[in-house]
């Protein structure tokens, strides 16, 4: 195998390198919105199945078909 | 690049996820629902102690508004998470532009979030699965998703580490092979689940699982293409302008 170092000048014809977004910028969004999104997934995928935050079974029954078709264990 | 672009990408990711959810919903309604109904008929014909009384949500609502709620919320939530993954991966996984990065993130998400867990714990229609083991099955399924996502992230990091020594192609192949081995080990050590009623129709099970798979393929293809388009326009406005100029010039020239 030839050394594949120094790729910059050769590849310059195609795509210019995209500057990464700093992780410090992403972290707060990832924390707050990421947790919110995971909570949404929990309500679609598991609430009132294995564990219940809300009593009754209306959440489970309402998303029943989605839960089956999205691959979550339902009942 | 400032924080406004993370927010803008997140909003676009959730919108693209919503639109992709609509595509998946169409497939779910047209391909999936007939199999759900058939499985429920099987359940009713075979259970002798189904004295549950009134269903709290009617089948009509479950198969329309309920299904739509589930699939669309799933689309928005995963679209949001995928756009955060995109923000992290952009410019860090090689010389890929926004569109190609979005396509790779979608492919990776399809594999990590759905395909790998699906091959061990596939989607089941109503009447498959013992209600008494729901806790164990849910824990195993979410564990498998978490493991698969962690292994995928590890694979990308491994590939990046190996790239300077092996070159991009070989590093990708080696990291991919390591991922396959790790997933194989996870499959081998995690307990299997087989709670299929004896006389459940094999054809129905197969078709139900295919339609579940079709939903995910459409969801992630739709998300990747749409979010990639949004991200490209947002992050390289010059490219968008050039395309439009070319399009405007085409009829004249």
The first and second tokens of residue B85, run together, are: 């993954």
Instruction: Note whether residue A75 is domain-resident.
Output: no
Q: Looking at the 3D structure of chain B, how many domains does it have?
A: 2
Is B52 within the bounds of a domain? no
Inter-chain residue contact A21 with B138, CB threshold 8 Å? no
Residue among B63, B77, B117 minimizing CB distance to A37: B77
pLDDT class for A6, splitting at 50, 70, 90?
very low
Q: Which residue has the tokens 């959730």?
A: B14
Angle at B23 between CA B89 and CA B231, to 5 degrees: 30
CB contact under 8 A, A72 and B33: no
Kindly state whether residue A47 falls inside one of the protein's structural domains.
yes
Q: Are residues B173 and B63 in the same domain?
A: no
Which among B2, B56, B87 has the least Cβ separation from residue A61?
Answer: B56
Mark whether B89 and B204 lie in a shared domain.
yes
- The pTM for the full model equals 0.89
The answer to whether residue A45 is domain-embedded is yes
Q: Let me know if residue B49 belongs to a domain.
A: no
Yes or no, beta carbons of B81 and A49 under 8 Å apart: no
Residue B101 forms contact with A (CB below 8 Å): yes
Interface of B with A in 152-181 (CB under 8 A): 164, 166-168, 170
Partner-chain contact B167 A18, CB within 8 Å: no
Is the same domain home to B103 and B148?
Answer: no
Look at residue B1 and tell me whether its pLDDT is greater than 80.
no
pLDDT digits over B191-236, tens only?
999 889 889 999 999 999 999 999 999 999 999 999 999 999 999 8
Give the model confidence (pLDDT) of B118-150 as tens digits.
Answer: 999 999 999 998 888 999 999 999 999 999 999
Are A20 and B91 in contact by the 8 Å Cβ rule? The answer is yes
* A31 found inside a domain: yes
Give the residue on B whose Cα is nearest the Cα of A49: B134
Q: Let me know whether B146 and B180 are in one domain.
A: yes
* Residue B7: band (very low, low, confident or very high) from pLDDT cuts 50, 70, 90: very high
ipTM: 0.89
If asked whether residues B6 and B73 sit together in one domain, one would say: yes
In terms of domains, do B104 and B153 share one? no
Do B208 and B102 share a structural domain? Answer: yes
Residue B100, token pair as written in the block: 């190609």
Centre a 10 Å sphere on the Cβ of residue A13 and count the other Cβ atoms it contains.
Answer: 6
Provide the domain limits for residue A54.
21-69
User: Is the residue at A52 inside a domain?
Assistant: yes
Test B32 with A7 for CB contact under 8 angstroms: no
Residues B174 and B110 in one domain: no
The Cα B253–Cα B241 span in angstroms is: 18
Task: Tell me the shortest Cα–Cα distance from A38 to chain B, in angstroms.
Answer: 7
Domain that holds residue B107: 1-44+59-128+199-253
In a domain, A51, yes or no: yes
CA distance B74 to chain A (A): 6
B22, B123: one domain: yes
Q: What's the gap in Å between the CA of A54 and the closest CA on chain B? A: 15
Shortest distance, CA B211 to any CA of chain A (angstroms)? 8
A63, part of any domain = yes
A14, A20, A62 member nearest B66 (Cβ): A62
B47 CB neighbour count, 10 Å cutoff? 12
Rounded Cα distance between B108 and B114, Å, is 10
In terms of Cα–Cα distance, which of B174, B211, B224, B179 is closest to B67?
B211
How distant, in Å, are the alpha carbons of A5, B17, B94, B155, B171 from that of A1? 12, 42, 20, 22, 12
- If asked whether residues B118 and B207 sit together in one domain, one would say yes
> In angstroms, what is the C-alpha Rg of chain A?
22
| Lowest-confidence pick of B16-25, B155-164, B201-210, B232-241 | B232-241
User: CA of B84: which chain A residue's CA is closest?
Assistant: A30
B51 found inside a domain: no
Task: Kindly report the nearest CA distance between residue B122 and chain A, in angstroms.
Answer: 7
The number of distinct structural domains making up chain A is 1
């Amino acid at each position: 195998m030839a050394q594949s170092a120094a790729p910059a000048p050769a590849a310059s014809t195609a795509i210019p390198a995209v500057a990464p977004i700093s992780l410090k910028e992403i972290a707060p969004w990832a924390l707050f919105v990421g947790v919110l999104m995971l909570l949404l997934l929990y309500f679609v995928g598991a609430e009132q199945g294995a564990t219940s935050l809300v009593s009754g079974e209306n959440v489970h029954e309402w998303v029943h078909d989605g839960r089956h078709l999205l691959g979550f264990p339902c009942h | 690049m400032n924080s406004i672009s993370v927010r803008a990408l997140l909003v676009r990711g959730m919108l693209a996820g919503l639109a992709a959810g609509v595509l998946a919903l169409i497939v779910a309604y047209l391909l999936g629902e007939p199999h759900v109904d058939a499985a429920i008929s099987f359940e009713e014909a075979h259970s002798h102690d189904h004295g549950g009384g009134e269903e709290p949500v009617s089948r009509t609502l479950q198969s329309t508004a309920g299904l739509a709620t589930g699939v669309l919320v799933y689309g928005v939530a995963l679209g949001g998470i995928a756009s955060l993954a995109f923000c992290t991966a952009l410019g860090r996984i090689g010389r890929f532009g926004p569109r190609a990065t979005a396509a790779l993130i979608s492919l990776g998400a399809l594999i990590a979030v759905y395909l790998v867990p699906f091959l061990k714990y596939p989607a089941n229609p109503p009447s498959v699965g013992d209600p008494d083991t729901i806790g164990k099955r849910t824990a195993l399924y979410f564990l498998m998703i978490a493991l698969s996502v962690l292994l995928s992230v590890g694979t990308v990091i491994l590939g990046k580490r190996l790239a300077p020594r092996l070159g991009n192609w070989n590093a990708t192949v080696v990291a991919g092979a390591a991922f396959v081995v790790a997933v194989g080990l996870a499959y081998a050590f995690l307990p299997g689940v087989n709670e299929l009623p004896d006389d459940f129709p094999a054809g129905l099970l197969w078709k139900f699982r295919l339609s579940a798979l079709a939903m995910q393929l459409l969801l992630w293809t739709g998300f990747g293409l749409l979010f990639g388009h949004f991200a490209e326009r947002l992050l390289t406005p010059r490219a968008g302008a050039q395309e439009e100029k070319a399009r405007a010039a085409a009829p004249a020239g």
